[in-house]
Structure 1
Amino acid sequence: MSVISDQLSEWVAGLAFDDLPEATVTAARRVLLDASGVMIGASGLSADVRPFVDLATSDGPCAILGTGMKALPQMAAIANGAMAHALDFEDAFDRAPGHPNASLVPALLALAQSHGPLDGRRFLTALVAGCEVSCRLGLALRKPLEDGGWYPPPILAGLGAAAGAASLLGASSDQVRDSISLALCQVTMPGEIKHSAGTVIRAVREAFPAQAAVQSALLALAGVAGFEQPLEGQAGFFALYADGRFDRDDLVGGLGRRFWIDELTFKPWPSCRGTHPFIEMALALTGEHGFDASDVISVEAGIDEVQRMLVEPASRKAAPRTAIDAKFSIPFTVALALNRGRVGLDDFSSVSLADPVVLGLAARISARQDNSAGRLRGVGGSLHIALKDGRRMSASRDTALGSPENPLDESALVEKFSDCAARAAVPLDHDAAMDLAEQILALQTCPDVGALFT
């Protein structure tokens, strides 16, 4: 039986654009559209990213998106990586909760601009490869990384980004394995970012794995050897993070026959994916029953164990101190939906965080365990609202808008891109945003992907 790390690395190195089904190519183009738009928007909306932009800015070939500034590839990756999750608006993989492209896209863009020209076919192939590695690592786990005190999304995304970055540079299978090995030496994320009320690391976390992915791929191609078994070795990824508990078939079975990038979620609301079913239910119930937020006595959210981090500690989640903590709060996001009839990019400002009406309603929102069968962990739930006039109303969701089962269409993604681009540090007007979106959605014909973003 072949070594698992070799098997996965050989697949990454051998993947070609012509191996990709049309649906997979379409999904990859949409990933780039969505990810780049979110990063561009964060450049103007998130104060949390500014230290990373300031640190990165220098004479270099790579764009720091939305700013008009340039940087060297590793530093562009750290700046754009900081922006990739700052709005919590990027794509997600519901089956193994995470964000497989939040580190990957910043890393690929940095390399496309520093080692180009690289055409759209090559870029899309690398994007599919890196996303697949991240998704499969998450699916293969048989012990949650959280049990060991880790925070999974940046760890899984960083290893996938290292594989994708190596693919973009035309690495051999050994060099792909070396790139993953070198990323394993750099990528980590403690679960303490969930528990610390004042930190913004949770917002900018993808800065670190994006930078690590670029460095790992460049060092691997320069001849720095990694480990023979970075994933399954006696002290490799699965041993370190999951006590060696993983499923081989979920990791390497069916490679090239099924692409998980086809089953991503694109977010309609800029907050943690686990809040989305509750936002959707709150908006639906207000629309259906026509009540006002001032009519609400209490709200109870039916959550699963993954979503517990979105309601506890209750006092903090009812009155979050930072925008990113508000985005990881079911009480706050539901209160926004009930009070304002929306949850948008402008609803996590310092003014919103201090809004007494929203905070008063958030304080009346509680949670209980609801482990209804058939739901994916972290992306379903129930909502129960009690009104002053005695009415009681409830709703439930197995998943939320934006999922593969209930997707956003391409026009919605383009509008989201335009909305984000208009909020950049250096805004794009509507026509310029639409022109860039059109070029991204035809990326397989592009001779130089890096040039699109300069």
Structure 2
Amino acid sequence: MTFASAAATPDDLSLSDRLCRHIANTPYDALPEACREMMRRALLDGTGVIWAASGMSADAAPFLAIAAGQAAGPARILGTEMQVSAENAAFANGAMAHALDYEDAFDAAPSHPNASMIPAALALAQEVGADGRTLLTALAIGCDLVCRLGLSLRRPMEAGGWYPPPIIGAYGAAAACARILGLDERRTRDALSLMLCQATMPGAIKHSRDTNIRAIREAFPAQAAIHCARLAAGGVTGFDAPIEGRDGFFDLYAGGEYDGGVMLDRLGDWFHGQMLSFKPWPSCRGTHAYIELAIGLIHRAGIDASQIARIHAGIDAVTRMLIDPLPRKQAPAVAIDAKFSIPFTIALAAVRGKVTLDDFDAASLADPDVLAMAALVAPVEADAPGWPAGSGGFLAVELKNGEMLRGEFATPLGSPERPLAREQLVAKFVDCTGRARVPLAPDRARQLAERILAIDTVDDVRQVFA
């Protein structure tokens, strides 16, 4: 439904106005401790992944080169010694935030709420010298907005030819930047309006075999978010209702089909960022259940490749993009496509017993054992008899002797139901920062991790990331 039928609220504000009042005025003290802790972890995890990409992602290198060629400034390009303007730091760090596909996710409405927001908000916070409470509050509010947008959609954005994650993520990034600049309700609405003029990502990102745009896509909304907030602060006037209004967000991206009640349900009391998932493996979240199943059913069971006749992977409408077209997904040409491949990640897990940052290099993409295993993977529709539907994964390994090994996970490792412990996230951060262009020693990385996990106690976030 559209929100127009229920636009009036108890205080007679539109949906956009209610959201902007929430973004501009919600205090740090209103955040539940569970939300604060989750956002601390998101900041730790997100910055760690960026650090790793600075040393590992060739795809992001052109973005770093452009940023580095600009004037010096107060915001750091993570993993390097370079400091540039907030916009250029957001541009470079944004390119790295998803480059390794290792950042957090929101499983309930598949997205990466923080991939463009953390680079943008952190860079702007360094420029203005924001305190840790302001940064954490901005992250919590922006993350929640992204999740609410995703959950409220009643027509998939893909139906209009869009690629949703970086589009909806852009609005959370703009909201966070507006909050860091201290914009009032009206100026926050202007910032969201300006993002409506810039946020885009075509579905073509999924279809070309050799493109790497999928890896570096978050550079664009991260940089745009800072521009939008600055322009709004400078007096650029936006639209009356950029979210639910005529030709606004929901009209443009979902044909006006959305649930306004979801957007406002417990707004200010419940923050969806409390339900983030953190990745144990550096690949698309949709591959994780299959990785876990392949490790258990094949690798740990000691099943040799010569014993396997076929691997049946149950898929649904969401995971279909991770297996189609099958020949390309069985032999991906570039790392980011391999990370978005159920057959290839199953093969890595089955053959090597692990899926790490080291398993998507050129040698891995050409590994004959991995490719042979990937060639055995075939899809089965999740609604077929015997295959349950859900957000997890379903695997059946058919052996040449006729035996069938089956397994399923409704919720993959790293989800709120099966979370990674704080210590595991610190270990991931240490590993990631050790792979940076300018690597951190393990002891120094652990010290930095503890400072990030106490970000809301610092008076100036520059003290942490200097």
**Interval containing the TM-score (normalised by the shorter chain):** over 0.9
The answer to whether the Cα contact below 8 Å between 2:171 and 2:195 also exists between their aligned partners in 1 is: yes
Report what 1:229 is aligned to: 241
Report what 1:97 is aligned to: 110
Report the Cα offset of residue 8 of structure 1. Answer: 0.3
After superposition, residues 45-64 of structure 1 pair within 5 angstroms as 45-57=56-68, 58=70, 59-64=72-77
After superposition, residues 201-240 of structure 1 pair within 5 angstroms as 201-240=213-252
1:109 aligns to 2:132 (yes or no): no
SS at structure 1 position matched to 2:103: coil
The answer to whether the Cα contact below 8 Å between 2:299 and 2:349 also exists between their aligned partners in 1 is: no
Q: Aligned partners of 1:164, 1:356: CA distance in 2, in Å?
A: 46
Report what 1:159 is aligned to: 171
SS at structure 2 position matched to 1:66: coil
Q: Which amino acid aligns with 2:153?
A: L
**Gapped regions of structure 1 (runs ≥ 5):** none
SS at structure 2 position matched to 1:230: coil
Report the Cα offset of residue 450 of structure 1. Answer: 2.6
SS at structure 2 position matched to 1:385: strand
Deviates more, 1:442-451 or 1:167-176: 442-451
Report what 1:452 is aligned to: 464
Report what 1:43 is aligned to: 54
Q: Specify whether residues 114 and 375 from structure 1 end up closer, same or farther in structure 2 by C-alpha distance, changes over 3 A only.
A: farther
**Gapped regions of structure 2 (runs ≥ 5):** 1-7
Deviates more, 1:281-290 or 1:348-357: 281-290
Deviations 1:63-122 (A, max 9, x none): 111011122111111100000000000000011110000010000111011111x11111
Deviations 1:279-322 (A, max 9, x none): 01111213553323443221110011111110011110011000
**Aligned partner of 2:29 among 18, 25, 37:** 18
Q: Aligned partners of 2:250, 2:150: CA distance in 1, in Å?
A: 11
After superposition, residues 364-383 of structure 1 pair within 5 angstroms as 364-371=376-383, 376=390, 379-383=391-395
1:325 aligns to 2:337 (yes or no): yes
The answer to whether the Cα contact below 8 Å between 2:117 and 2:222 also exists between their aligned partners in 1 is: yes
After superposition, residues 323-362 of structure 1 pair within 5 angstroms as 323-362=335-374
The answer to whether the Cα contact below 8 Å between 1:374 and 1:398 also exists between their aligned partners in 2 is: no
Q: Aligned partners of 2:436, 2:307: CA distance in 1, in Å?
A: 37
SS at structure 2 position matched to 1:43: helix
Q: Aligned partners of 2:243, 2:179: CA distance in 1, in Å?
A: 18
Report the Cα offset of residue 375 of structure 1. Answer: 5.4
Q: Which amino acid aligns with 1:10?
A: R
- Aligned structure 1 segments of 4 or more residues deviating by more than 4 angstroms: 372-376
Q: Aligned partners of 1:273, 1:245: CA distance in 2, in Å?
A: 26
Deviations 1:188-225 (A, max 9, x none): 00000000111100000000000010100111111111
Q: Which amino acid aligns with 2:124?
A: L
Q: Specify whether residues 445 and 373 from structure 1 end up closer, same or farther in structure 2 by C-alpha distance, changes over 3 A only.
A: farther
Q: Aligned partners of 2:298, 2:321: CA distance in 1, in Å?
A: 26
Q: Aligned partners of 2:189, 2:249: CA distance in 1, in Å?
A: 13
SS at structure 1 position matched to 2:291: helix
Report what 2:3 is aligned to: none
Report the Cα offset of residue 389 of structure 1. Answer: 4.3
The answer to whether the Cα contact below 8 Å between 1:109 and 1:450 also exists between their aligned partners in 2 is: no
Q: Aligned partners of 1:74, 1:184: CA distance in 2, in Å?
A: 18
Q: Aligned partners of 1:327, 1:101: CA distance in 2, in Å?
A: 19
SS at structure 2 position matched to 1:428: coil
Report what 1:71 is aligned to: 84
Report what 2:5 is aligned to: none
The answer to whether the Cα contact below 8 Å between 1:370 and 1:381 also exists between their aligned partners in 2 is: no
Q: Specify whether residues 250 and 374 from structure 1 end up closer, same or farther in structure 2 by C-alpha distance, changes over 3 A only.
A: farther
The answer to whether the Cα contact below 8 Å between 1:292 and 1:338 also exists between their aligned partners in 2 is: no
Report what 2:186 is aligned to: 174
Report what 1:393 is aligned to: 405
SS at structure 2 position matched to 1:299: strand
Deviates more, 1:263-272 or 1:439-448: 439-448
Percent sequence identity over matched residues? 55
SS at structure 2 position matched to 1:423: coil
The answer to whether the Cα contact below 8 Å between 2:300 and 2:353 also exists between their aligned partners in 1 is: no
The answer to whether the Cα contact below 8 Å between 1:161 and 1:210 also exists between their aligned partners in 2 is: yes
Q: Which amino acid aligns with 1:331?
A: P
SS at structure 1 position matched to 2:96: helix
**Aligned partner of 1:251 among 244, 247, 263:** 263
Q: Aligned partners of 2:399, 2:388: CA distance in 1, in Å?
A: 29
1:84 aligns to 2:97 (yes or no): yes
Q: Aligned partners of 1:341, 1:287: CA distance in 2, in Å?
A: 6
Deviates more, 1:45-54 or 1:222-231: 222-231
Q: Which amino acid aligns with 1:5?
A: S
Q: Aligned partners of 1:336, 1:252: CA distance in 2, in Å?
A: 43
1:408 aligns to 2:420 (yes or no): yes
Deviations 1:413-442 (A, max 9, x none): 000111100100110110111000000111
Number of residue pairs matched by the alignment: 451
Q: Aligned partners of 2:454, 2:75: CA distance in 1, in Å?
A: 22
Q: Which amino acid aligns with 2:113?
A: P
Q: Aligned partners of 2:279, 2:393: CA distance in 1, in Å?
A: 17
SS at structure 1 position matched to 2:215: helix
The answer to whether the Cα contact below 8 Å between 1:113 and 1:451 also exists between their aligned partners in 2 is: no
TM-score by length of 2: 0.95
Q: Which amino acid aligns with 1:96?
A: A
Report what 1:145 is aligned to: 157
The answer to whether the Cα contact below 8 Å between 2:242 and 2:249 also exists between their aligned partners in 1 is: yes
After superposition, residues 178-189 of structure 1 pair within 5 angstroms as 178-189=190-201
